[in-house]
């Protein structure tokens, strides 16, 4: 007799790149298709995506893709997979809007998306019968899935928590989930990220009160930042601004697009007179303005980063302005960037409220231990599969499942490439594995950068590199002379001299715009500026290596 295969592409040893396969005989279905973020040592890498080798090899068996919610680590890799496959995608309305926008970003035609209502709809994806149900998370319109397979019903519940007062007013649909679980559940694959955190995860609702308290005391302009897909948090910021009669300015391309999508689809509802354009802000007093701005991870070149280095087109901050970070520096390598932005803002005299100030300005979207126990009690599966966490989270999840009554052999800590078979004879991890590696995306190249290339980039620093030698006067904190640009391996000899000379003069003009320069600011500005400069001039992006010399 055939067995159900649950195959992990990625997402069980890290919190990103979520991608899983359900397969029965000659039919298979994918759940989630997310990106990861490069580690600091992945020089020049833009994104990390799952290894689609097995899916592409078996694309004739693929019947569809289910997406659970609107975060990048669950949907961001779809455009890369759809270079090789073309199947229906199933998602809620807001998530469908985000997916269409993601494909437009890559210049791809919109995919076939079936939009469902998780409160009432059921549908088939090949041999699999799907009953979605609403869950609470930090972005609206998230769902879990009850998947009927020939081997039995499986619950697939990625990021969730039990928030009874969510911002969108739609809590975890516990009644529908309980009804779907009442006939018995073969297996539960669910979020393990909160398995090391005691208690229940707090409600998102509490954050609005915290933000309002800070905002009421502000005498000048307010800048509020969160991740662009966090529509619930953006809605809370809009609510606070409306209460305080401040005009809202949305700043940053990513956040502008997400707000436009959410408003168009009915997930953000506010007075049209509340918003003004960035260029209109100068008509209002600082005490009348509330900016919602992108750059909560401190990304170099983001709107908030440019504000922090006094380089934004419309916004300047000064003493007693307020900046509110509503989020943790979560992706790998982002904390250093956020720390830099925070420090620069504080140097400018700004009142910064961020993750170290212990003001509870961020609440996790992931259920803690009591949320996980609640889900265990609701579903009562025969087998348990932790997903969406690291190895330590999966181990803690396993101990929780065993405390709940599971035996050691009914909890499966899977890694990328593992195949779990479930059926009448039990559940077993097969000895063979499918291909599973982190595929690095560098510009237009997908998968052509590996560990050897990364090592070469780090050690050699000669090929494909522009070295900018910048002399700073440590007393005046100004540029001493025109930077020297030295290149290796990215431009042919005939064009080299004039291009690099012109780049040096252009970089000098850019650095002289800064009021004061220190080593870190000069390094960041030079890297950001030269990357854009060479891309514009010759459509190439060499590694930029600024060398700062204090004289």
Catalytic machinery residues: 191, 366
Reading phi first (left if > 0) and then psi (alpha if -120 to 50, else beta), residue 46 is in alpha
Transcribe 416-477 into DSSP letters: TT-EEEEETTEEEE-S------PEEEETTEES---HHHHHHHHHH--TTEEEEEEEEETTTT
- CA torsion, ordered 36, 39, 40, 45, to nearest 10 deg: -50
Residues 6+ apart with CB under 8 A from 527: 300, 544, 546
Evaluate the CA torsion angle 223, 224, 227, 230 in order and state its sign.
negative
For helices 519-538 and 334-347, the axis angle rounded to 10 degrees is 120
Is the Cβ–Cβ distance between 51 and 30 less than 8 Å? no
287 backbone dihedrals φ, ψ, rounded to 5°: -70, -5
Is the Cβ–Cβ distance between 372 and 400 less than 8 Å? yes
Identify the CA nearest to 466 among candidates 442, 486, 482: 486
Identify the CA nearest to 543 among candidates 501, 507, 490: 490
Please, is 301 exposed, middle or buried when counting C-beta atoms within 10 Å of its C-beta (0-12, 13-18, 19+)? middle
Q: Which two tokens stand for residue 62?
A: 């693929």
Reading phi first (left if > 0) and then psi (alpha if -120 to 50, else beta), residue 83 is in alpha
Identify the CA nearest to 545 among candidates 441, 464, 440: 464
Q: Which two tokens stand for residue 162?
A: 């039990």
232 backbone dihedrals φ, ψ, rounded to 5°: -60, -45
Identify the CA nearest to 192 among candidates 65, 328, 376, 360: 376
Evaluate the CA torsion angle 179, 183, 188, 192 in order and state its sign.
positive
Residues 6+ apart with CB under 8 A from 540: 490, 491, 534
**3-class DSSP assignment, residue 111:** coil
Distance CA 311, CA 245 (A): 28
């Amino acid at each position: 007799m055939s067995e159900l295969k649950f195959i992990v592409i990625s997402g069980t040893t890290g919190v990103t790149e979520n991608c899983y396969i359900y397969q029965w005989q000659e039919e298979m279905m994918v759940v989630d298709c997310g990106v990861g973020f490069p580690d600091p040592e992945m020089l020049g890498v833009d994104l990390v995506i799952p290894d689609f080798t097995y899916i592409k090899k078996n694309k004739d068996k693929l019947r569809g893709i289910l997406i659970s919610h609107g975060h990048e680590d669950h949907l961001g890799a779809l455009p890369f997979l759809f270079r090789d496959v073309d199947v229906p995608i199933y998602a809620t309305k807001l998530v469908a809007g985000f997916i269409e926008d993601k494909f437009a970003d890559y210049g791809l035609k919109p995919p076939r998306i079936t939009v469902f209502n998780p409160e009432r709809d059921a549908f088939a994806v090949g041999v699999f019968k799907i009953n979605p149900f609403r869950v609470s998370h930090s972005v609206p319109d998230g769902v879990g899935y009850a998947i009927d397979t020939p081997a039995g019903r499986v619950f697939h519940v990625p990021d969730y928590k039990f928030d009874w007062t969510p911002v969108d007013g739609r809590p975890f649909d516990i009644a529908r989930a309980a009804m779907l679980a009442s006939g018995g559940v073969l297996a539960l694959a669910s979020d393990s990220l909160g398995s090391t955190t005691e208690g229940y995860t707090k409600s998102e609702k509490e954050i609005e009160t915290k933000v309002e308290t800070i905002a009421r005391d502000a005498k000048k302009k307010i800048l509020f930042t969160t991740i662009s897909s966090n529509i619930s948090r953006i809605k809370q910021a809009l609510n606070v601004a409306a209460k305080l009669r401040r005009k809202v300015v949305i700043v940053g391309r990513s956040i502008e697009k997400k707000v436009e999508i959410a408003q168009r689809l009915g997930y953000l509802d506010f007075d049209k007179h509340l918003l003004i354009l960035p260029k209109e802000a100068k008509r209002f007093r600082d005490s009348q303005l509330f900016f919602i701005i992108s750059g909560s991870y401190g990304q170099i070149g983001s709107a908030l980063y440019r504000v922090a280095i006094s380089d934004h087109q419309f916004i300047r901050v000064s003493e007693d302005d307020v900046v509110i970070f509503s989020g943790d520096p979560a992706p790998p390598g982002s904390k250093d960037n956020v720390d830099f932005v925070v420090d620069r803002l504080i140097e400018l005299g700004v009142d910064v409220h961020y993750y170290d100030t212990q003001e509870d300005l961020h609440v996790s979207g992931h259920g803690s231990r009591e949320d996980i126990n609640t889900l265990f009690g609701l579903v009562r599966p025969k087998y348990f599969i932790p997903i969406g966490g690291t190895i330590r989270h999966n181990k803690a999840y396993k101990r929780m499942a065993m405390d709940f009554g599971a035996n050691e052999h009914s909890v499966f800590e899977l890694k990328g490439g593992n195949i779990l078979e479930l059926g009448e004879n039990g559940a077993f991890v097969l000895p063979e594995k499918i291909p599973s590696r982190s595929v690095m995306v560098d510009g237009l190249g997908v998968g052509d950068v590996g560990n050897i290339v990364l090592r070469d980039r780090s050690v050699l620093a000669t090929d494909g590199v522009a070295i900018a030698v910048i002399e700073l006067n440590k007393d005046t904190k100004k540029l001493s002379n025109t930077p020297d640009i030295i290149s290796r391996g990215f431009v042919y000899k005939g064009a080299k001299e004039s291009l690099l000379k012109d780049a040096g003069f252009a970089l000098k003009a850019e650095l002289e715009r800064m009021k004061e320069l220190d080593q870190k600011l000069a390094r960041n500005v030079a890297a950001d500026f030269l990357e854009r400069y060479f891309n514009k001039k010759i459509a190439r992006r060499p590694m930029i290596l600024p060398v700062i010399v204090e004289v």
